[in-house]
Structure 1
Amino acid sequence: MRGTECPLPRSENEYNRQILQAIASGQRVTQRSLSSDIGVALGLTNLLIRRLVAKGYVKIAGMGTRHIRYLMTAAGWEALGHATRQSLENTVHLYTQTREQIRTSLSGVSERCETDAAGQKRVVFYGAGDVAEIAYVSLQSTDLTLVGVVDDRRTGRFFEVEICRPEQLSAETLGGVPYGHVVVTSIRHAESIRARLDARAVPRSRVWCLESREAIGDCDGSNDPGRGLDRVR
């Protein structure tokens, strides 16, 4: 998150990778620009850079002038390669873990969702971002049927489903299509979505929120990974 000092659950190795990647780009970087890019305080950025210099990964040119340049060393390039591979491995692990958590949450929705006259458990996703994409993949291993997607900003299609505007959502249908439950597939905007669903007169008993710190990692840390699925009260 640019320009935000947010206590994200990232390791020092990940911060180092981002700094090394920025320096390796060849563009002029400053501690202030790096601070904004990686989303930490300027003082912490200074500390991270000094540690990279001490390890021999980065050297400083123009010391004592107003135009300091940070340069990669051979050891720095090697460290960046290693850190990039580690980051990719962590991303794959996180995706797999998140997908399983969301699949478990959707199974909980299925247990409480009644079957309609056509024999379907019809749900609507509210949110068409990254969480929704993982939820869509996870949904394939459940008996739930996705009949619509709502998003406040995005338009177009979400896989084979047309994205609808919030105004098309009523207490029982989305764009005229009946549904059983709304699954809030956004962590960061869950609270504001709940408020909009209230405004649309959608019964809270039919609204479910996927909440997992592993899935998105909100800055406020309010998502308890142990909750998995939180029925709106």
Structure 2
Amino acid sequence: MDIQDQRDLQLLNEVEQNAAVTQRSLAKKLGVALGLTNLYLKRLARKGHIKITTIPRNRIKYLLTPRGMTEKTRLTYLYLQYSLSYYRDMRQRLKVVLTGLARAGAKRIAICGTGELAELAYISLREMDLTLVGFVDGDQGTFLSYPLWPIEALPNWEFDAVLIADLEEAKKIQARLIHAGVPREKITTL
């Protein structure tokens, strides 16, 4: 599923939920410019997926057409396939990384991150003979019923490795860990 399919699915979902949705709110949800949102909506209308009607006070209403509903179903199916494939790939990647840590003698692992990848890392870790020391992140609170600790607390812990469970910010997090005093050789990324 490419980025355009993801945007189309998001637009079709938004139009289905709220026919009077504004282009400005759609642009904000998509994270794109207002003019680009207008082009996306016109493209969906040209394909027959939505109908654009004007209502009083220069307001626009978007209606999902039967063809649009069919396209939304198709895109939802593709999204589910993509998500399951991504999940399986990440689980396999985590298994390889954690197996490598275990073979190197690591037993006590700290996980840095609080997203879906951190959750998958936790599940994978529990399936192996490894112990979770805790979760570190910039946020306060809890994650999976564990307290969250700041990265700066990590050097005071007894751990064999830190797994960075964030693909997008891995380099930035690694720099923060090193700056906090975590030895580079104890830091693992995916």
If the length of structure 1 is used for normalisation, what is the TM-score?
Answer: 0.70
Match of 1:216 in 2: none
Contact in 2 for aligned 1:124/1:146 (Cα 8 Å): yes
How much has 1:196 moved relative to structure 2? 2.6
- Aligned length in residues: 190
How much has 1:54 moved relative to structure 2? 1.6
Please list the CA deviations of residues 109-160 of structure 1 after superposition, one character each: whole Å capped at 9, or x if unmatched.
Answer: 2233x35xxxxx111112222211111122234333222221210422535x
Match of 1:191 in 2: 171
1:169 aligns to 2:154 (yes or no): yes
Q: Which residue of 22, 43, 48 maps to 1:51?
A: 43
How much has 1:43 moved relative to structure 2? 4.1
More helix by share: 2
Q: What residue identity is the alignment partner of 2:110?
A: V
How much has 1:23 moved relative to structure 2? 0.8
SS, match of residue 166 in structure 2: coil
Alpha-carbon separation, structure 2, partners of 1:13 and 1:192 = 30
**Structural mapping, 1:38-187, within 5 Å:** 38-62=30-54, 66-112=58-104, 114=105, 121-159=107-145, 161-170=146-155, 173-174=156-157, 178-187=158-167
Contact in 2 for aligned 1:128/1:154 (Cα 8 Å): no
Q: Quote the sequence identity (%).
A: 34
Match of 1:223 in 2: none
1:200 aligns to 2:185 (yes or no): no
Alpha-carbon separation, structure 2, partners of 1:88 and 1:23 = 20
Match of 2:17 in 1: 25
Alpha-carbon separation, structure 1, partners of 2:5 and 2:82 = 12
Alpha-carbon separation, structure 1, partners of 2:19 and 2:67 = 19
Contact in 1 for aligned 2:139/2:148 (Cα 8 Å): no
Unmatched 5+ stretches in structure 2: none
SS, match of residue 152 in structure 1: coil
Alpha-carbon separation, structure 1, partners of 2:148 and 2:25 = 36
SS, match of residue 187 in structure 1: coil
Contact in 2 for aligned 1:198/1:204 (Cα 8 Å): yes
SS, match of residue 149 in structure 1: strand
SS, match of residue 59 in structure 2: coil
How much has 1:77 moved relative to structure 2? 2.3
What is the RMSD computed on CA atoms of the aligned residues?
2.6
Q: What residue identity is the alignment partner of 2:138?
A: D
